[in-house]
Amino acid sequence: MKFAYLLGTLYFSVIWMLLFGLFPKERKVIVWSSIALAPAAPISEYWQMADYWRPDLIIAIHIGNWTFGFEDFFFAFAFGGICTGIFELLIRRICQAEDIRFNLKGFVKLLGIVLFSLMLMGTLSWLFHLNSLDALNSSCVLIAGFIFSKQYMFLLPGLITALLMMFFMWFFYWGFFLRLYPDVIGIWWLSKALSGVALAKVPIEELIWAGSAGLFFGPAVRYSLLASKCS
C-alpha cells in the first residue's frame, strides 16, 4: 500500500480541478486558500502520527519525533480549496454576497488563522489530554464559532459546506478507497483512536473531522479577506 495515500490525494485533486474548471469566479480564492492550508496537514502529523494513524508514505520525512510526507501537502492543498470553493458558491447564492478579491494582507491573516488553529489544537491536546483528532475538531469548531459570531450570514453556508464535506469524505471511503484497500482502516489507524462507530465501514471520526474542517476553513477565507457583508 505504498502508493495508497497518494492515490487518495489524487481523488480529492480531481474534485479540486472540477471546481477550478467549472467555476471561474472562484478560481483565485480556491488557489490561494489551497496554498494557505497546504502546510497544515504536515504540521498536524506531529500529533496525529502519535495517536491517530500511521499511513504508508512514499518518502517519509523525519524531524525528531515529527514524521510527515509530501502526500500530506497535496491532500491539504486539495481539501482546503474544495472547502473554500463550495462555501463561496453557496454564500454567493444564498446571501448574494459579492465576489472577494485576493489581497496580501488578507492572505497573511488567513495564514495566521491556520497557524493559530494548529497552536490551539496542540494546547487543547496538552491541557485536556485529548487525542489529536478531538483536539483538532474542537479547534476548528471554536474558531468557526468565533467567525460566525462576527459574520452571522456565514453560518448557513458554513453548515451546508460542513455537511457536504462529510458526504464527500464518506463517499471517498465507501465508493473508492475501501474498494481498493478494504483492510486499510485496520492497518493504518490506531484502534484506540477509533470508537468503532462506522457508517458503511467508514469510521465516524473521519466524517466528523471532514465536517469540522469544512465548517472552519470554508468561511475562514472570506473572513480573512475582509469581504463586505451580504446584501
Full-model pTM: 0.93
Nearest to 124 by CA among 47, 66, 220: 47
Q: Higher-confidence residue: 137 or 26? A: 137
Q: Is residue 60, in this structure, part of any structural domain at all?
A: yes
Residue 174, all three cell numbers: 465507501
Structural domain that includes position 75: 4-224
CA dist 128 and 52 (Å) reads: 17
pLDDT at 8 over 90: yes
Q: Is residue 229, in this structure, part of any structural domain at all?
A: no
Q: Is residue 52, in this structure, part of any structural domain at all?
A: yes
pLDDT at 228 over 80: no
Residue 62's DSSP bridge partners are 67
Q: Is residue 102, in this structure, part of any structural domain at all?
A: yes
* Three-state DSSP class for residue 69: strand
Where do runs of H (alpha helix) occur along 23-177? 27-37, 40-51, 70-94, 104-128, 132-150, 155-172
CA dist 76 and 41 (Å) reads: 6
**Number of domains composing the chain:** 1
Question: What local confidence, expressed as pLDDT, does residue 226 receive?
Answer: 63
CA dist 23 and 28 (Å) reads: 10
How does pLDDT run across 145-186, given as a tens digit for each residue?
999 999 999 999 999 999 999 999 999 999 999 999 999 999
Residue 74, all three cell numbers: 497535496
Question: What local confidence, expressed as pLDDT, does residue 39 receive?
Answer: 95
Q: Is residue 213, in this structure, part of any structural domain at all?
A: yes
How does pLDDT run across 31-68, given as a tens digit for each residue?
999 999 999 999 999 999 999 999 999 999 999 999 99
Q: Is residue 20, in this structure, part of any structural domain at all?
A: yes
pLDDT at 95 over 70: yes
Q: Is residue 231, in this structure, part of any structural domain at all?
A: no
Question: What local confidence, expressed as pLDDT, does residue 117 receive?
Answer: 96
